[in-house]
Amino acid sequence: MSYNIPEIVANFCTEGNVEIIVPFGSGHINDTFHVKTTNPELPGYLLQRVNHHVFKDVPALMNNVQLVTSHLKKKLAEIPGSNPTKEVLTMVWAKDKQCFFCDTAGNYWRMYLFLKDTKSYDLVLTDQQAYEGGKAFGKFQLLLSDLDTDLLFETIPDFHNIAMRLDRLNKAVLADVEGRVKEVLPELTFVIERADTMVTILNLGKEGKLPLRITHNDTKFNNILLDMNDHGQCVIDLDTVMPGYVAYDFGDAIRTIINTASEDESDITKVTLNIPLFKAYTEGYFKSAGSFLSDMEVKTLVMGVLLIPYMQGVRFLTDYIEGDVYYKTRFAEHNLQRTRVQFQLLKKLEEQYVVLDQIIQDVAKTYTQLASKVE
């Protein structure tokens, strides 16, 4: 799809003349562009078309983003040495005084200040990056822990509800619109074998044993911007910030950090676990979030580490069976390849379940001991 981007940019309150617009990032849902201006002093802008087939109520979503970013900026302003402009996304308003612009074709656009001298990583390379990622997502949850969850609109209902995801997969199998079910029987067996054990977090939540907090819900590692020294700078991609369980955010981050292969690797033998990166992320996460996590939340973190690759595999598989209607794909079996990577990752994680849980419990214990010494 091509858009008249200069015309769209003209609807926002920008400074300087637009010089060049480049497609940006590797997201699967929205379209992102870096808008550069002729003024070298200005970092430019980040323009995004929000996918309104996925996010059915973009104005309500943008209201969430507005609430979350202003809350984060207010909280950071109280912390000495913080820089809210660098550490939180800043929205650029449209000329009609809304925080988005809707074009004549019904596409929704939004703009942020471009954060220069930052990097996002699809694959994590060093322990420091993983540690900084954990610190950044933990701090994000901490700073939002006093924002009323009721204020946030659920941008995708039942986003991390595994029972609903399995139901959707079941319906896709029954409809089999593309005739692809016959190709994925081993994957379906894999899903069925684990379905009963994957509802534990959901059930603990329903029983009132886990608090609903404001969580990010898309903690892929590339949704953190690191600065040029690999320090965590800003958590981005706020479309799915809504009430959730911390184990979901933990599991999604680990899914993208611990895997030595990319999310769509064609050779699944390359999927192995980098346990030092797991430990580093866990340490960073507890450094920021250790003060507010309940014992039950700590216990469920390892369950999130299994659940999220499972759920992600279920989602890719459903999309494959439904004919690739949700995620951007570059070739016919892209979603199937992604599914196989998630399921291979899950197999490896299952083998190391005890080791991973021990690391979490050790880090939690160290954190509690240190915290009690400070008191």
Cβ at position 247, least distance to Mg ion in Å: 21
Q: What is the DSSP string of 100-148?
A: SEE-TTS-EEEEEE---SEE--SS--SHHHHHHHHHHHHHHHHHHTTS-
Among 237, 252, 263, 319, binds Mg ion (CB under 5 A): 237
CB of 258 closer than 8 Å to CB of 274: yes
Name every residue whose Cβ is closer than 8 Å to that of residue 261 and which is 6 or more positions away in sequence: 267, 268, 270, 271, 272, 341
Site string for Mg ion, 10-29 (x = CB under 5 A): -----------------x--
Cβ at position 51, least distance to ligand ADP in Å: 8
Name every residue whose Cβ is closer than 8 Å to that of residue 249 and which is 6 or more positions away in sequence: 137, 141, 215, 216, 217, 219, 304
Residue 240 contact among ligand GN1, Mg ion, ligand ADP, none, beta carbon within 5 to 8 Å by kind: ligand GN1
H or E segment at 250?
A: helix 246-257
DSSP designation for 160: T
Q: Which two tokens stand for residue 354?
A: 């005890």
Among 37, 48, 64, 312, binds ligand GN1 (CB under 6 A): 312
Spatial distance between the Cα atoms of 44 and 156, rounded to a whole number of angstroms:
30
Pick the closer one to Mg ion by CB: 223 or 282: 223
Pick the closer one to ligand ADP by CB: 117 or 167: 117
Note whether 223 binds Mg ion by CB under 5 A. Answer: yes
Cβ at position 80, least distance to ligand GN1 in Å: 32
Among 220, 279, 299, 340, binds ligand GN1 (CB under 6 A): 220
Note whether 240 binds ligand GN1 by CB under 6 A. Answer: yes
Among 87, 132, 187, 218, binds ligand GN1 (CB under 6 A): 218
Residue 102 contact among ligand GN1, Mg ion, ligand ADP, none, beta carbon within 5 to 8 Å by kind: none
CB of 89 closer than 8 Å to CB of 195: no
Cβ at position 295, least distance to ligand GN1 in Å: 28
